[in-house]
Structure formats: C-alpha cells, structure tokens
Amino acid sequence: MAERGYYEPALDGVEHLPTELNMFHASPLLMRSPHWHAQVEVNYIVRGWAHYAMSGYEVRFGAGDLALFWGGQPHRLDDASEDLVYAGGHLPLVHFFRLRLPQGVQAGLMQGAALVSKATDQSDPVNFARWNDYVRSGDPLKISMAVDELLLRIERIRFAPYELSGRRTASDDHGTDQHISPIVVRICDYIADNFREDIDSVDIAVAADVHPKYAMTVFKKCTGMTLNDYVNLIRLSYAQALLMRDDANVLQVAMDSGFGSLSAFNKLFRKIAGMSPSDFRRDLRSRPSAALPPRVAACTPYN
C-alpha cells in the first residue's frame, strides 16, 4: 500500500482570500500541523470518515454527516479512512453572517464549536458536486447561485436534529491542543462576542487575563495575524453582509460593524476588498440574476 501523502499548510497556518467562497470535492490529504482560515468550513462526508483535531477537542465525521466549524480556530485533519471523499467549502464571513441560524448556533460556531447534522439525504452529494462545479466555472451567475443554494441548505439544518460538539467554557482551557495557546482561545472567544464594540488590544488582553504586548505576541505566533487584522477582518465581513441589504446606509454600516469612523471603514474596505463600500454595493446589485417570477424572487432572502 502506498504511503499516504500529507498536506503542508503555510508556515503561518493562515489561508488568505477571506472574502471568496472556495469549494472542494476531493479525497483530502492529512495535515502535518493545524491551519487557520478566516471562513466557516462546511464539510459533507460523501464516503468514509474524517477525524479532526480541533482547538481543545477532537471530532469524527462519518459518511452522510454535514458539519460546520469556524476555520479561524486551529484545526487539523489528522486521520481519515483510505476511501474518504468529502465535499464542501470555505464560507466567507460575509455569507456566514447572512445565515438565519437557531439562537446560540452562530455564537457557538464562532467560539470554536463544531455543528454536526446526520439528517442528510441523497440530494446532498449531488448538490455539493454541482456547487463545486459552479464555483470553479468562474461564471458569476453560477457562483451566485451556488452561494445562495448552499446558504439555504445550511439554514435547513434547523429543521432536523443536530449537535454542537466541543463548545468550550472558561474551565476547558486545559484541554487545548498542546500546539495552541489557551490564551488564543480566550482571545478568539472575546473577539467573537465583542467585535462590533469599540475594543482594542488592551480590552482583548484584559479578557484573556494577560499583558497586551504578550497577547499580541502569542496571537501573532499562533495565527500569523495581528489582533488588529483579525478584528478588522471579522468587522469587514460583517459590514459586507449589511451592505447587501437594500436599505443599507454606508455610514450606519460602518458604525454597526465596529468601525470608529467612515474614513477608517473606507480605507480598510479598499485595502481588503479592492473597492469602496459604495462600489461593492453597486457591483453586487448589478450582478447577473436569474429571471425568476416576481413571487419567487420576492421570497428569496439573498437577492
């Protein structure tokens, strides 16, 4: 039997392209070390099983399982069946914040829990394969449809049994993976709960019960991102979701997303998204759209 190959994450463990939906449908390689990415990961196990070492716990997904977890927490595919095939994607926060999830689920995911639903059916492998093809096609309309259909599929989880695995409390830090500082876990928890407020490195460090300089050093070492970059990335993705609303006011969006000023919001938005907030909204509204009957279009929540 041939030796199983391994995936080598980048040295900082962080994948870039945080605002793009990346889909996959493959037999994955195991990972030698944890990695991070600033999207929510969606896994559908087509065949076999996958075992992940998360930040502070382990979880195994079997054939037919649909799972979600926040990729901003360190995770590693450390074991899997020889026949593993999984499908899914890295869902940007800009889309994740649009989801209508049951109360507590969104916060639980952002704080490191994994959501697992076994209530899947024969349509799921077909759908995930199609969404992967659509996203990889480069066709804007197909990509848009893949996003909308994936979001609706995730929202339907609320109508069937599901579990949140590995949700931590402050007393669980002792179980954190030896490669990941429990300080970073506390930092991520605090930011997930407070990114829309006026917080800085001092506030974050106080919540993590460490000196601000030490908090910044540990976070950068573990994630490859500065505290400020991490907070701003989450704020920006949240702001993009708000900008998708028809009645969105750019100034109000900036304030509601935690930015202290419109100028700071515009500057960061241009830096990461490559365009102004106004241009982003204009581009979104002019994207290709399917010719749906008025009644159907009105019922679609992601227009």
Q: What is the pLDDT of residues 25-82, one digit of tens each?
A: 999 999 988 888 888 999 999 999 999 999 889 999 999 999 999 988 889 999 999 9
Distance of CA 113 to the CA centre of its chain: 12
Q: How far apart are CA 258 and CA 230, in angstroms?
A: 13
Closest C-alpha to 86, from 49, 113, 135, 58: 49
Q: What is the pLDDT along the chain (303 residues), one digit of tens a residue?
A: 345 678 776 655 566 666 778 999 999 999 988 888 888 999 999 999 999 999 889 999 999 999 999 988 889 999 999 999 999 999 988 788 888 888 788 878 888 899 999 999 999 999 999 999 999 999 999 999 999 999 999 999 999 999 998 854 433 443 334 445 678 878 888 888 899 999 999 999 999 999 999 999 988 877 767 899 889 888 988 898 888 887 889 999 999 999 989 999 999 988 887 889 988 888 777 765 543 333 322 233 332
Environment class of residue 166 by beta-carbon count within 10 Å: exposed (0-12), middle (13-18) or buried (19+)? buried
Closest CA to 222 of 8, 13, 62, 44: 13
Residue 177's nearest CA partner among 64, 31, 290, 66 is 31
pTM: 0.74
Q: What is the DSSP letter of 35?
A: B
CA distance 153 to 19: 20
> What token pair was written down for 259?
């930015």
E-only strand ranges, 48-109? 49-53, 58-62, 66-70, 76-80, 85-92
Contact 46, 128 (CB under 8 A): yes
